[in-house]
Amino acid sequence: MPGVHDENAVTDPPAGAGPCASPHWRDEVCRRAAEVPEITAFPGVDALLRAFHALAAEHPDLVRPSRIGTSRLGEPLECFTVGDAAHAPAGPPGPQHLVVGGVHPNEPIGACTSLHLARLLCEDDDLRARLGATWHVVPCVDPDGARLNEGWFDGPFDRGTYARHFYRPAPREQVEWSFPFSYKGAYFDQTIPETFGLMRLIDAVRPRLLVSLHNGEMGGVYYYLSRTLPGLVEALHAVPAELGLPLERGEAEDPLAQVWADAVYGMADMRAHYDHLEALGLDAVAAVGGTSSADHAAQYGTLSVVAELPYWSHPAAADTSGSGRRYADVLTAKAEGLRADGALLESLLARAEPMLDAASPYVRASRAFVPMLGHVAEHEAARAGLPAADREASVAEVFSAEDLVRCFRLRYGGMLVRALAGPVAAGTAPAALRRLHAEAAEVYERWQDEAAQLEGTRLLPIAQLVGVQLGSTLAAAFALVDEAGLAPGGGGPA
């Protein structure tokens, strides 16, 4: 999910994160996670919304569709309110839960999860009653971005196909990271319409639970929580174990995140990132943009949960044994890899720049991400110089450091190729741009070939990935029922 970096602080977890007796709902959550039926493709925007409207037509008393906004390209942003009080005239009473898919449009596992969850809530009266909440489900909050990923949603689900059709908006155009933010020298208020729609919904329903549906790419399962509750961490570990999915063991995606348990982190905090960058002498104002949905919802005491799932796993990503290499050297090699790839892409982009059209989302994304490779390289080089980096790296850390270089060149190289391909396909590219496109495509093919040589990658079944998001959502909802003392039979666990 997030961005920026340094050594993870291993912190005292908040109350409730420690060991406790198994929660009474743990086995049910694991069972429901394992019951997700086979899924062979990710739905495109139209198919996803058709499925939700069909569900609403099937359960008119339980599902209320509404519109929460409009995308920049004019798509309605839809919300489906699910629950026995969905049609209450003065707004549904009791706890409100909010589940949002497509916050990053290259992360469509949540589209399947949102549909499966809504269907489950409609079809299982007993579950719905025991959870005792009204659910607001936004299946796809960034339809414009999702459509630009649809080229890989039907598979084949290899990394090459994914990267060739990958689109991720520039950070300031991401729904998740464009909530208003003001801290020290940073001030961000260029909130995009999609984020405004979600922000209004958060402010209207003041959710008790917010599940922002993200996913990663390669490695293992991990989570971000805004706080934790008795039994929740145990359930978050039990669900992937039940499904045979590994926990993430390598470099944390957000190296600043507080570690509360294996693969369970405190929610990313932009203020902490700002302070960290400032302390390293880097330009925090330039690097920090907006904040997250979880940060915005924190004012309502909301429990925010993010389950990050990979599409692929690799044995090395779960290997915590020593690699025989110094961690500082691993970071230095990572920085060198990112610096070299970044310089190559920057050169291509700079030469193409006078001929590019900012109306293209690929151009805007390339302008944001291509320089980012160099910035991350600078940051990793700074981390390599810290005393904490003078230790042996694990095999998993080596793998994830190397894989980040692979991931970035495949993702952002691919988007630059698509940025240059636009005018070529439209028949408007000057000869110089056509030549640059050919040059970029040749480099990119080489990177694709190198990445394809990585052996041992395992494609994970989509249904299992959906199962983890479903299981973690249900676990959080059950834990909130316990916390509120609303469990059947007078408040305590049965």
Which distant-in-sequence residues (6+ apart) come within 8 Å of 466 by Cβ? 36, 39, 109, 112, 113, 116
Q: What is the closest distance, in whole angstroms, from the C-beta atom of residue 107 to Zn ion in the complex?
A: 5
Q: What is the closest distance, in whole angstroms, from the C-beta atom of residue 104 to Zn ion in the complex?
A: 4
Residue whose CB is less far from Zn ion, 1 or 100? 1
Residue whose CB is less far from Zn ion, 6 or 308? 308
Residue whose CB is less far from Zn ion, 2 or 13? 2
Q: What is the closest distance, in whole angstroms, from the C-beta atom of residue 106 to Zn ion in the complex?
A: 8
Residue whose CB is less far from Zn ion, 23 or 171? 171
53 and 112 Cβ atoms separated by less than 8 Å: no
Helical ranges in 206-308 per DSSP H: 232-243, 270-279, 284-287, 293-297
Q: What is the closest distance, in whole angstroms, from the C-beta atom of residue 459 to Zn ion in the complex?
A: 20
DSSP readout, 29-92?
Answer: HHHHHHTPPP--S---HHHHHHHHHHHHHH-TTTEEEEEEEE-TTSPEEEEEEESTTTT-TT--
Residue whose CB is less far from Zn ion, 64 or 214? 214
Q: What is the closest distance, in whole angstroms, from the C-beta atom of residue 370 to Zn ion in the complex?
A: 20
Residue whose CB is less far from Zn ion, 107 or 341? 107
Binding residues for Zn ion, rule: CB under 5 A, are 1, 104, 107, 214
Residue type, 257: A
Q: What is the closest distance, in whole angstroms, from the C-beta atom of residue 253 to Zn ion in the complex?
A: 9
Q: What is the closest distance, in whole angstroms, from the C-beta atom of residue 1 to Zn ion in the complex?
A: 4
269 and 181 Cβ atoms separated by less than 8 Å: no
Q: What is the closest distance, in whole angstroms, from the C-beta atom of residue 137 to Zn ion in the complex?
A: 18
Residue whose CB is less far from Zn ion, 96 or 313? 313
Residue whose CB is less far from Zn ion, 55 or 263? 263
Residue type, 253: E
Q: How far is CA 494 from the centre of its chain?
A: 34
Q: What is the closest distance, in whole angstroms, from the C-beta atom of residue 310 to Zn ion in the complex?
A: 12
DSSP H or E stretch at residue 304: strand 303-308
Residue whose CB is less far from Zn ion, 1 or 405? 1
Task: Enter the tokens of residue 221.
Answer: 């399962």
Token match 């609303």: residue?
A: 486
User: What's the CA gap between 16 and 294, in Å, rounded?
Assistant: 19
Q: What is the closest distance, in whole angstroms, from the C-beta atom of residue 450 to Zn ion in the complex?
A: 25
Residue 465's closest CA among 181, 163, 287, 220? 220
Token match 């086995």: residue?
A: 27
Q: What is the closest distance, in whole angstroms, from the C-beta atom of residue 422 to Zn ion in the complex?
A: 25
Token match 């691993």: residue?
A: 330
376 and 338 Cβ atoms separated by less than 8 Å: yes
Residue whose CB is less far from Zn ion, 214 or 411? 214
Residue whose CB is less far from Zn ion, 308 or 380? 308
Residue whose CB is less far from Zn ion, 107 or 295? 107
Q: What is the closest distance, in whole angstroms, from the C-beta atom of residue 372 to Zn ion in the complex?
A: 15
Residue whose CB is less far from Zn ion, 107 or 248? 107
User: What's the CA gap between 372 and 380, in Å, rounded?
Assistant: 12
User: What's the CA gap between 414 and 404, in Å, rounded?
Assistant: 15
Peptide bond into 156 cis (omega under 30): yes
Residue 5's closest CA among 370, 455, 375? 375
3-class state of residue 209 by DSSP: strand
User: What's the CA gap between 153 and 147, in Å, rounded?
Assistant: 10
Residue 280's closest CA among 297, 256, 258? 256
Radius of gyration (C-alpha) of the chain in whole angstroms: 22
The two beta strands, 181-183 and 186-188, are antiparallel
Secondary structure tally for the chain: helices H, strands E: 17, 15
Q: What is the closest distance, in whole angstroms, from the C-beta atom of residue 368 to Zn ion in the complex?
A: 15
Task: Enter the tokens of residue 399.
Answer: 């793998």
User: What's the CA gap between 473 and 306, in Å, rounded?
Assistant: 9
Token match 């699910």: residue?
A: 82
